[in-house]
């Protein structure tokens, strides 16, 4: 079993937690780590910007990765959320066993 991760910033912790709850309920992730009070410096539409956001790191499987990303994009309040997902090169045995429950539930 291998792991996949999704990174995405949110406007606040409440939205990140609500979306994480939906993904957990829908069986698309096993865990979400929320990092509130994140300071984001960015360039958007040719201009520099800065915002306080809440970062979220979601743990899922490579099989569910595309669906998890699509669901985050559909539920996110930003018009163009920055969502990055990738398959992890390795994970621990306990994490692999935890993630295996997702794939079994999806079948």
pLDDT in tens, 42-92: 999 999 999 999 999 999 999 999 999 999 999 999 999 999 999 999 999
Q: What's the 3-state SS for 31-100? A: EEEEEEEEEEEEEECCEEEEEEEEEEEEEECCCCHHHHHHHHHHHCCCCCCCCEEEECCCCCHHHHHHHH
100/106 Cα distance (integer angstroms): 10
Listed residue (96, 2, 19) closest to 55, CA to CA = 19
Q: What is the pLDDT of residue 56?
A: 98
Residue 105 lies in a domain: no
Residue 103 has pLDDT above 90, yes or no: no
Domain carrying residue 59 = 4-83+90-100
pLDDT band at 101 (very low <50, low <70, confident <90, very high): confident
Q: What is the pLDDT of residue 102?
A: 84
Residue 34 lies in a domain: yes
The SS3 assignment for 2 reads coil
Percentage of the chain modeled with pLDDT above 90 = 91
CATH of the domain at 9: 3.30.70.120
Q: Which helix (H) or strand (E) holds 6?
A: strand 4-10
Listed in sequence order, the residues at least 6 apart from 35 whose beta carbon sits closer than 8 Å to its beta carbon are 54, 55, 56, 57
**How many distinct structural domains can be found in the chain?**
1
CA angle 64, 17, 57 (to 5 degrees): 50
What does pLDDT average to over the chain? 95
* Number of other CB atoms surrounding residue 58 within 10 Å: 27
């Amino acid at each position: 079993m291998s792991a996949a991760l999704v990174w995405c910033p949110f406007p606040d912790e409440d939205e990140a937690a609500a979306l994480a709850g939906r993904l957990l309920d829908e069986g698309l992730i096993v865990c979400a780590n929320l990092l509130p009070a994140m300071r984001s410096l960015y360039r958007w539409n040719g201009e520099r910007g800065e915002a306080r956001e809440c970062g979220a790191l979601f743990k899922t499987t490579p099989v569910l990765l595309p669906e998890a990303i699509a669901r985050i994009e559909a539920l996110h309040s930003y018009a163009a959320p920055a969502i990055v997902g990738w398959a992890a090169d390795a994970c621990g045995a306990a994490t692999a066993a935890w993630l295996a429950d997702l794939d079994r539930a999806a079948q």
